Amino acid sequence: MSDHSIYENTLITRYASREMAHIFSDEQKFTTWRKLWVALAEAEQGLGLPISDEQINELKANIENINYEAAAEFEKKTRHDVMAHILAYGQQCPKAKGIIHLGATSCYVGDNTDVILMRDALMLIRSKLLGCMRLLSDFAIKYASLPTLAFTHLQPAQPTTVGKRAALWLQDLLMDFRDLEYALDSLQLLGVKGTTGTQASFMALFDGDEEKVKELDQIIVRKMGFPSAFPVTGQTYPRKLDNKVMTVLSSVAQSAYKFANDQRLLQHMKEIEEPFESGQVGSSAMAYKRNPMRSERMCGLARFILSLADNTAYTASMQGFERTLDDSANRRLSIPQAFLAADGLLLLYMNVLDGLAVYERIIAQHLEEELPFMATEEILMEAVKRGGDRQALHEKLRVYSMQAGNRVKLEGLSNNLIELIARDDSFGFSECELKKLLQAERFTGRAASQTREFIASSVIPVLEKNKDLTFCQKIEIDV
């Protein structure tokens, strides 16, 4: 039950999934520590150290039932979390307590566990990233041919299509996916390296047998499901690894922020709206409001992730010699919270994509208001083909455009540029001919084709290859 008298982590209570919260839970952390201790004992036994099956079986039997109260009491005395859990584990395993953590230093369980948890968290992020890509791909194909105003400098520009704009968001996610795959493939464990990374304690255990010490490192790596360990380390794995992982989360946040901010602008223009439920309240004072609260929340979470990315960069650059401890408190906060925020961010992204409302008439209306200006170049070229003087006609178009613009901006009236041109015989067009030139599809170039080609060649192969990994649940946002 929640204790309302103390602060609770909002990332867990409001935003992230239970799956992501579990990855960074005490249960997952400490059971992984114990699995690493079992793996170490098994590997050392296999390489000839006097460790019995009975001792290993005792350790295995107590992986899950962690005695947290005993560990907390030991930590009060020792002021050392790893030592406290060694003593607590030994209390449950009296026959094996003498061989727990044999030859290792704290980072053996701490750092290897951190990499394992980051791997699991990245895999969950990958699943949800693929879910966003699937939904966005469907949306882009559906609206590949729907013309819409494009904007440069936030000013109306040559039209694009709704689907082509979605393809830009999708391409960002595809880049993130490739970066994430690379980060996953390049994860390495610390392995078994000792207090300063020299493996001196293990050399002593194995009477100077380097081959056995090297094999011990490789056995642990294989048992924990990784392809390799860092070949050289200090006491810790290089903190640059944390920064590589955080850079992926930052990249996902950048992409999600771009989408969400564009969506907020589109909702401002009433062209595309995020889901809005029947009982939802947009404002406590203004009952008519339909605020883009999901997209705004996405931007807030994304900004938080972007700020956390600095932490791992600072930590990687400031580690002294073989290790210092100024990384510990920071990493306990920044890495889990970045993953929790990224998880919540992608849940929101999927929820928004799954319920986007596209208002085609508003989109067409906005196009009609601006198309006369955008059609002037085509009108000019066609008029010159019919024998007109380019320079004279260009000047007239400039003047008429200014007049039409003033009519819209100063008088609040409709754009009458086409009427002005039609009344001028030097252009040689009827109003009907001019309106044919104003079909929006004439101005979108290869937008629809680009969208379909990009998705067919670059996105669908990724989605097909990873369909079993793709998050496909319908997302409900409770708060």
Annotated active-site positions, please?
Answer: 153, 283
Q: For residue 348, count other CB atoms closer than 10 A to its CB.
A: 27
Please report the sign of the dihedral spanned by the C-alpha atoms of residue 313, residue 318, residue 320, residue 324. Answer: negative
Overall residue count recorded for the chain in this entry: 479
CA distance 301 to 250: 11
Q: Please, which residues have CB within 8 angstroms of residue 389's CB and are 6 or more apart in sequence?
A: 426
- Which residues, in sequence order, are bridge partners of residue 157? 150
Q: Please, which residues have CB within 8 angstroms of residue 227's CB and are 6 or more apart in sequence?
A: 188, 221
Q: For residue 314, count other CB atoms closer than 10 A to its CB.
A: 14
CA distance 343 to 126: 10
Q: For residue 452, count other CB atoms closer than 10 A to its CB.
A: 18
Classify 70 as helix, strand or coil: helix
Measured in whole angstroms, how far is the alpha carbon of residue 44 from the centre of its chain? 40
Q: Are 471 and 130 in contact (CB under 8 A)?
A: yes
